[in-house]
Amino acid sequence: MNMGVLLRLALLLLLVAFLANPQAFEPLFAPFAANGAAAIYTQSSLLSLTVSHLSMVAAATIAATVVSVGLAILVTRPSGREFLPLSRSVANIGQTFPPVAVLALAVPVFGFGPIPTLIALFLYGLLPIFENALTGLASIPPSVQEAARGVGMTDTQRLLRVELPLALPIILTGIRLTAVISLSTATIGSTVAAKTLGEVIIAGLISNNTAFVLQGGLLVALLALFIHEGFGLLEGALTRRTRSVQPA
Amino acid sequence: MTGAGPAETMSAQADDTRVKRRSGLDRLGAILAAIAAAGLAFQPFSLFRANRIVAAKPVGILSALPPLEAWLLVAVVVAACAVLLLRTPPALRLVVSALTLAVLAVAVGRSGMFLTPSSNTYARVAPGGAFWIVAFAFSIALADASVRLKMSPLARLALLAFTGGALWMLLWSGAWDSLSILREYTNRADVFWREARVHLLLAIGSLAGAAVVGIPLGILCFRVQPIRATLLNSLNILQTIPSMALFGLLIAPLAWVAAHVPGASAVGIAGIGIAPAFVALFAYSLLPMVSNTVAGLESVPPQVRDAARGMGMTARQRFFEVDMPLAFPVILTGIRIVLVQNLGLAVLAGLIGGGGFGTFVFQGISQTATDLVLLGALPTVALAFAAAIVLDALVEIANPTPNRSAAA
Amino acid sequence: MIEIREITKAYDGLRAVDEVSMTIKSGEIVAVVGTSGSGKTTLLRMINRLVEPTSGAILIDGRDNRDLPGHELRRAIGYAIQGYGLFPHRTVAENIATVPKLLGWDRKRIDARVDELLALFHLEPAQFRARMPHELSGGQQQRIGVARALAAEPAVLLMDEPFGALDPIIRGKAQDDLIDIQRRFATTIVLVTHGIEEAIRLGDRIAVMDKGKLLQFATPAEIIAHPATDFVAELVGSDERAFRMLSLTPVSDLMEPGEAPGAPIDASASLKDALSEALWSGRRALPVLRDGAIVGRVTRDSLISRAGRPQ
């Protein structure tokens, strides 16, 4: 456990150091660079690519969270309950759409640049959050629902004080899933000229420079790892409090 | 003894929704009808381009088809909207939605023929917003009707087979030949089928490999606790590496293997092409296979295992007659996840010269040729969609207790 | 006082509760007993309007229960259920404080009330306030459930199989606690149960329901002695009724002056316990103990004659 914490801390420091001064790591990547080509990507600064990559993922994930949690609340209310079976199967079907295909299909409509990537990330992010929010809101024990009604809570009070807090850990799992998938999918956005770390990987693929592929890939993987871990800690803290509700 | 409470609560809620359903209009139907009507009225039915690259010229429904056919189509859509709008039986809604989609499909082909000047091989006609919006609305209506009908797995498979057959008929009859995406197809029919085979080989082959390796690994993880955390964690980390990077990173080691291991290049291992894509997909498939095998074995109720022991079954008998049959639906769910995921990820192989439908997608993106992108993306989506329906049906058939699938 | 007037609830034309009328007096415990599907839970839930009736009316202290919005009505009525329904994301103290908080009590008053209730239910406040529900045993969860229902000092407490999930020994203890608390606050309690044993033990009066109809509403003695229908007779159990009758009366009622050999029996024990002890130990009479002193005796013959059908 302690070892794990130390390792994570070391990785985080390494990540920060690399972003702050990539050239210092040049000797590490040099062996992978083909025929004396540059070992560190310098076309754009890695830091700015990382920031733009992360902000794109954050924007898409936040938008997806707001929309899908809202939808999930809507279809679990009595007045929206007739849409529940349909929205379940639509969410299920929607998840079969490959993210690459969503991106590819968004290009003809929205053109090149960050917009199609944002749209694709947003659309693809809706489904895991929606599904988890549904599971969370629908899996609240009937006796708890009954008690909340029985003590005289209004519909709004029940939603805000009982249902949402109880569903929160499961919703967070969905957001984590979405954020991690988006982080990886966003790299593909660079094929349609979005500014992401995918730019580094693609440059490597085109010029046969494994050093570029490696640094781009490792950066994204590390970011994904930390996002995954961060959400995991948050969920853990919440689930420990409410053990009776099982995460999906 | 749980008392009568919950059952009575549920019947009270069911009662409420039923009361609502009896009165007034169908709410979803109203929304869908509005979407379809607005799409048809305000969006172009077809897009006309003088050649493959230039900007498209929108063509409204009344100019996209001969007048009689155009009005006929409008009439069909309006009538179908009326059916959706009112509280009609789900079976009727299913048939009407399916028929409307069929009419729409034929109409878009007719529009292609009508708009393309004869003997002009450069002009392109593609379906416009109205087509996609109306198709979307009625697909949702179709899905809604089939959910309301609570179709059995076999019925869903039959519906899928029927839809596939109808699509095949449309393609084979040449009704769509004048559409731009099929023009792209005609130009590269041989390549298309070769890439289709590669795509399927990549997706299904890596799945098969992952199943052969992953299921025994899952069983091992279930039996030997210490291995479980380590293995699942490392597979988890593997999944966080972006797919594009993993594809790229495999190029160098595989090139090295091809150059240094005798016979490796003879069996097709090489730094670029299909090999790194295959290995990457295999690696991504392992986690869902292993974790679902573990989850499946964990889902076997301890009492059942205890009873099997109590009746004198040997360890081997318990494994093959109790554990595996009960874990199977969850393992099958893992296969469903992997297959759908692989069919999509295989597109990325196109980026590293690995073939598959991704070849068209990325070529299309670099040439800004929408139709070429669609030629790669649409079959991918269709394959993933069909795979999901087929495997969902299989999971349901394999599941002896329907409620367990929700837990899986 | 709760007046139930020809209340009916129909689901798709099927009557779950069928023209039930009854009047529950202030401060009494009424046990509603019946098989599952008899409509007893639906009847209970119509009192606090978790279920809205199809026809009829319910008056609480003379006011129609539809005068207030449903949620405000429910804040004034305690409600405890079988699964307890504790909020898993809130501490024990927060759970108990739910209704006072909804009613906008100030913090001091809420804290005092929470501690008072915890102590009342034999749970050390300092130790239990901050616990989460999943850290409690079943019996403790049940007590918190009832404490939460009583938090805002309601005049009426509705209970739906509140002891259903407890094992027999803990259940007996919880039933005793409930009787103590009821005596203390003079709360009117309507309790739904499927066990006639529990109904006889707790109910000042018992309402027997079957297929939505109220078959009989009377004291336990009356129900045992003169069951209104075959169904009620069967529910009471013909082979057990002599002992059920005895279980309703304390030894003090049948005590006479005199002496008897052997271990004494407490004056507050039931006649059933006394007869059982007399038969088991082969004695014609038992000494009776009250506040540590022998105050008289109870004879086997008087016990046996008390077990017969009252004339």
Domain ranges of chain B: 19-177, 189-398
Number of domains within chain A: 1
Cα–Cα dist C131/B152, whole Å: 47
Q: Is A34 a domain residue?
A: no
Q: Is A69 a domain residue?
A: yes
Q: Is A10 a domain residue?
A: no
In which band, very low, low, confident or very high, does the pLDDT at C3 lie, cut at 50, 70 and 90? very high
Chain B: closest CA distance from residue A13 (Å):
19
Q: B241 and A221: CB-CB below 8 Å?
A: yes
Strand C213-218 relative to strand C265-266, pairing: unpaired
* Chain B residues near residue A170 by CB distance under 8 angstroms: none
Q: A144 and C86: CB-CB below 8 Å?
A: yes
Class of domain B189-398: mainly alpha
Contacts of A39 (CB under 8 A, 6+ apart): A26, A29, A30, A32, A33, A211
Which pLDDT score, from 0 to 100, does residue B157 have? 92
* Chain C residues near residue A237 by CB distance under 8 angstroms: none
Least CB–CB distance from B377: residue in A105, A192, A201? A105
Cα–Cα dist C192/C178, whole Å: 14
Q: C51 and B3: CB-CB below 8 Å?
A: no
User: Could you give the 3-state DSSP secondary structure of residue B274?
Assistant: helix
Which pLDDT score, from 0 to 100, does residue A242 have? 60
* Chain A residues near residue C50 by CB distance under 8 angstroms: 146, 149-150
pLDDT above 80 for B160 = yes
Which pLDDT score, from 0 to 100, does residue B266 have? 67
Contacts of C252 (CB under 8 A, 6+ apart): C267, C268, C288, C290
CA of residue C218 relative to chain centroid, distance? 15
Which pLDDT score, from 0 to 100, does residue A203 have? 87
Q: B143 and A90: CB-CB below 8 Å?
A: yes
Least CB–CB distance from C36: residue in B3, B11, B18? B3
User: Could you give the 3-state DSSP secondary structure of residue B2?
Assistant: coil
Residue A219: C-alpha distances to residues A42, A227, B271 (Å): 15, 12, 23
Cα–Cα dist A167/A139, whole Å: 8
Question: Neighbours of B (≥3 Cβ pairs closer than 8 A)?
Answer: A, C
Using a CB–CB cutoff of 8 Å, tell me whether B16 touches chain C: no
Q: Is there a contact between B46 and B148 (Cβ–Cβ < 8 Å)?
A: no
* Chain A residues near residue C145 by CB distance under 8 angstroms: 147
pLDDT above 70 for B15 = no
Cα–Cα dist C71/A151, whole Å: 8
Q: Measured at the alpha carbon of residue A188, what is the angle toward residues A32 and B359, in degrees to the nearest 5?
A: 90
* Beta bridge mates, C30: C190, C205
Q: A81 and B9: CB-CB below 8 Å?
A: no
Q: Phi and psi dihedrals of C218, rounded to 5?
A: -160, 175
Cα–Cα dist B79/C187, whole Å: 63
Using a CB–CB cutoff of 8 Å, tell me whether A152 touches chain C: yes
Q: Is A32 a domain residue?
A: no
For the segment B235-263, the average pLDDT, to the nearest whole number, is 76
* Chain C residues near residue B15 by CB distance under 8 angstroms: 11-12
Q: Is A36 a domain residue?
A: no
In which band, very low, low, confident or very high, does the pLDDT at B24 lie, cut at 50, 70 and 90? low
Q: C50 and A149: CB-CB below 8 Å?
A: yes
Task: From C151, C17, C157, C9, select the one nearest C92 (Cα to Cα).
Answer: C151
Task: From B278, B243, B244, select the one nearest B355 (Cα to Cα).
Answer: B278
For the segment C148-168, the average pLDDT, to the nearest whole number, is 91
Least CB–CB distance from B370: residue in A108, A142, A192? A108
Least CB–CB distance from B388: residue in A93, A202, A213? A93
In which band, very low, low, confident or very high, does the pLDDT at B246 lie, cut at 50, 70 and 90? confident
* Chain C residues near residue A153 by CB distance under 8 angstroms: 71, 98, 102
Question: Neighbours of C (≥3 Cβ pairs closer than 8 A)?
Answer: A, B
Cα–Cα dist A189/B381, whole Å: 18
For residue C50, give the amino acid letter: L
Percent share of chain A, pLDDT over 70: 94
Phi-psi region of B119 (alpha: psi -120 to 50; beta: other; left: phi over 0): left
Using a CB–CB cutoff of 8 Å, tell me whether A166 touches chain C: yes
Chain B: closest CA distance from residue C38 (Å):
8
Q: Is A16 a domain residue?
A: no
Chain A: closest CA distance from residue B316 (Å):
31
Closest C-chain CA to A245: C88
Lowest pLDDT segment from B312-321, B328-337, C99-108: B312-321
Per-residue pLDDT of C120-157, as tens digits, reads: 999 999 999 999 988 899 899 999 999 999 999 999 99
Domain residues for the domain of A81 are 44-245
Using a CB–CB cutoff of 8 Å, tell me whether C130 touches chain A: no
Q: What is the CATH number of the domain that holds A203?
A: 1.10.3720.10
In which band, very low, low, confident or very high, does the pLDDT at B406 lie, cut at 50, 70 and 90? very low
Using a CB–CB cutoff of 8 Å, tell me whether A55 touches chain B: no
